[in-house]
A and B are shown apart, each in its own frame.
Chain A
């Protein structure tokens, strides 16, 4: 006999956890929720002792057909919240309307204004530290935590660009919270030694201990079961045995590799399912400063520059977000110049491409395959212009030497697209409330929903969209 639940939730990362938070707040005492997580629960102590985020090798969970392009994620309880760096900008209003504003990409089916209160709620839940002297995007509330300390180069850039350079918003605490100590700038935020950054494991684990929730670890969801266009449950593999569970609502909260793969394997077809796999691309810039010291900031990256982010140039080429870095390992060794170095990370948006996708192989149904042909010309064009633009942008800094990396980083550790959202069922897999266009009691959360790839880091938007989706479902 198949055990029946009110809701089945797949995954325990940002997308699932923020959804579950809202859902539990309004669920009845008798509501039954099944959560299936493919990974193990690797405690923070285990992670620190082993210097890695997960006891499972992510590369064993999928096939990368273009290995030069890396896709980074954490298959364990808490998902990407274990390995993320904790950088939490919102997307800009025009990021949601790229087609209307600049004639490229597509418009999102949801506007910045619609998402704003959910952004604010997410920032509150994560205790985000952010600027208190302005913001690049409209805000209804101040940031919950004061900003981290600027470095001296940040102060120079802020003076030159008061409306375009800001403290970097982050989930690394600038002052201690009941659960977390203040960040002390260790510079290894992918696994914070002192647990100063927000993680699901640290801050939301109690949701999964709620009496209404049944959590099963190391349970790999294979398919969503449907009858007459209605989801009836899922089948999952645990300890070599395939089991089934039934539910009134099924919510996929895996990443943008696994969510489309589950749908493909379930034969819930759509021409664009799995398509538009992509992420931002970034260049490293190393600047030797002349007489100006760096590294005085109170966390690993401290500033966000919007000088090349939004504007008419996006009609022609990608916009970018400029991050200033503050990690001590970047110091110089020449006498007297130890702190006179600044590292920038220039993060470009990308135009999604159908040639980049998740492939389902019926002969090897357990492993999704990533196919990646490269970033868009839109992004590459912007990167080529950087050497001629950047020195002028940074004209207020005393620069001795500036070196731009000759190739982008192999990954930004964001996996986007593959179950894109939109109004039109012909050109999108899910609607503006993250509900599947055809199977109306199936929600597909997470970064797969992104129909375009903005320069901003996606986690805050992923989490806010989950709050938005849960709010709509319950109202």
Chain B
């Protein structure tokens, strides 16, 4: 026969579970928000490009996972500042958006196809020299 759980233990366990669930839920919501925000920022910054929708979403998810520091910054910004237009005009989100847009360009096939703005840009995989080295699209060796 199992031991009875004390009232105090039960309450503490319930509180810990609740806190854990809340934090986990908050993080999932924030991560989802970050993915949406990244998609929006890339679309805005690279408005002149036709971007494959599924690939852009995959990039945004990879950015949240791989671009840890920038993603954390994005989480903080999106959590505390909901007026993104104001932030944009202040330049803070603008800088981050630029970095994310550059990351997307380097992660895509855009430069590998001669920077052709008339074709649909596809996501190739997150640009990380430590995962896939030697993918600099501009470097020449002759």
Interface residues of A (CB under 8 A from B): 48, 51, 149, 182, 184-188, 191, 193-194, 295-298, 326, 328-329, 331, 333, 335, 338-339
Contacts and interface: CB of A to CB of B under 8 A. Distances in A.
The 3 A-B residue pairs whose C-beta atoms are closest, nearest first, are: A295-B138, A185-B139, A184-B134
B83 interface: no
Nearest to B141: A298
Contact of A328 (B48, B98, B117, B136): B136
B139 A295 contact: yes
A338 B110 CA distance: 11
Interface string B104-132: 01100001000101000000000001100
Contacts of B98: 333
Interface of B: 45-46, 48, 98, 101-102, 105-106, 111, 115, 117, 129-130, 133-134, 136-142
Nearest to A191: B130
A149 B111 contact: no
Given A149-B142, A182-B141, A194 B102 contact: no
Given A182-B141, A297-B140, A298-B139, 12 more contacts: A51-B130, A184-B133, A184-B139, A185-B136, A186-B136, A187-B129, A193-B130, A194-B134, A296-B138, A328-B136, A329-B106, A333-B98
Nearest to B48: A335
> What is the interface of chain A mostly: helix, strand, loop, or mixed?
loop
Given A333-B46, A333-B101, A193 B129 contact: yes
Contacts, number: 62
Nearest to A148: B141
A194 B130 CA distance: 8
Contact of B129 (A182, A188, A331): A188
25 contacts: A48-B130, A149-B140, A149-B142, A182-B141, A184-B139, A184-B141, A185-B136, A186-B129, A194-B133, A194-B134, A295-B136, A295-B138, A295-B139, A296-B138, A298-B139, A326-B139, A328-B139, A329-B106, A331-B102, A333-B45, A333-B46, A333-B98, A333-B101, A333-B105, A338-B111
Contact of A297 (B48, B105, B137, B139): B139
Nearest to B42: A333
A184 B133 CA distance: 8
Contacts of A339: 138
Contacts of B45: 333
Given A333-B101, A333-B102, A338-B105, A188 B130 contact: yes
Contacts of A329: 102, 106
Contact of A187 (B46, B101, B117, B136): B136
A356 to B, nearest CB: 31
A331 B102 CA distance: 7
Contact of B138 (A48, A328, A333): A328
B67 to A, nearest CB: 12
B115 A338 contact: yes
Nearest to B45: A333
Contacts of A184: 133-134, 136, 139, 141
Contacts of A149: 140-142
A333 B48 CA distance: 10
Nearest to B100: A333
Contacts of B141: 149, 182, 184, 298
Nearest to B142: A149
Contacts of B139: 184-185, 295-298, 326, 328
Contacts of B115: 338
A193 B133 contact: yes
B65 to A, nearest CB: 14
Nearest to A327: B136
A186 B132 CA distance: 10
A51 B106 CA distance: 20
A396 B129 CA distance: 33
B129 to A, nearest CB: 4
Nearest to A48: B130
A19 to B, nearest CB: 33
Chain A CB within 10 Å — which of B101, B137, B138, B142 has the most?
B138
A308 to B, nearest CB: 28
A194 B139 CA distance: 16
A326 B48 CA distance: 25
Nearest to A296: B140
A191 B137 CA distance: 20
B133 A328 contact: no
Nearest to B130: A193
A183 B141 CA distance: 9
Chain B CB within 10 Å — which of A182, A187, A194, A328 has the most?
A328
B15 to A, nearest CB: 35
B51 to A, nearest CB: 13
A51 B69 CA distance: 14
Chain A CB within 10 Å — which of B117, B130, B137 has the most?
B130
Nearest to B110: A338
A333 B94 CA distance: 12
B94 to A, nearest CB: 11
A29 to B, nearest CB: 42
Contacts of A194: 133-134
Nearest to A326: B139
Nearest to B46: A333
Contacts of B105: 331, 333, 338
Contacts of B102: 329, 331, 333
Contacts of B140: 149, 296-298
A48 B129 CA distance: 10
A168 to B, nearest CB: 15
